[in-house]
Amino acid sequence: MTDDRELPLEEAAALVGVPDQFQRLWTPHRMAYIQAGPQPLRDACPFCAAPDMSDEDGLIVARGRTCYVLLNLFPYNSGHLLVCPYRHISQYDEATAEEVTEIGALTQRGMTVLRAVSSCDGFNIGMNQGHVAGAGIDGHLHQHIVPRWTADANFFPIIAKTKALPQLLGEVRRTVADAWHA
């Protein structure tokens, strides 16, 4: 049973266990990814399903005529966006001229919005096409827009295969979507 009183924060060294100098970084949202594994992504295309959901449930921040923009469910950094055509195509050379144009325009707009809401210092932008090229979802074309900050990488990705993300996806989606339409 819980009540509405605010509980005091406790120092990690005072918690159960052997006290040490480490601070704890809790990222419980990652457990969904760990427990699910890759199978759900193989059973159905999440990029075909997202446009049929509400923007909040699909993590969509903007919808265009032939393409849309959503947050990556398993981001490399906070604000990691994906630009996807609505059509289920796997390769960039299968995209129509209109889709290519809109992918580019939405990518530019995404960069502008991310720069405004997160003060990022740069971006990684690109497409991994095919499983062999690193595409986690290789059946549906998508372009990554990954915001980067000076010194945003540390030992976690290299040593612990862990990425620390300071914001929840819902908060990031709301912030980016609000700025996109402003």
181 is annotated as an active-site residue = no
Residues with Cβ within 8 Å of 3's Cβ and at least 6 positions away in sequence, in order, are none
- The one-letter amino acid at 97: A
In sequence order, which ranges of 7-95 are alpha helices (DSSP H)? 30-36, 39-43, 46-49, 55-58
Q: Which of 80, 140, 142, 144 is catalytic?
A: 142
Rounded distance between C-alpha atoms, residue 20 and residue 62, angstroms:
45
Which positions are annotated as active-site residues?
Answer: 142
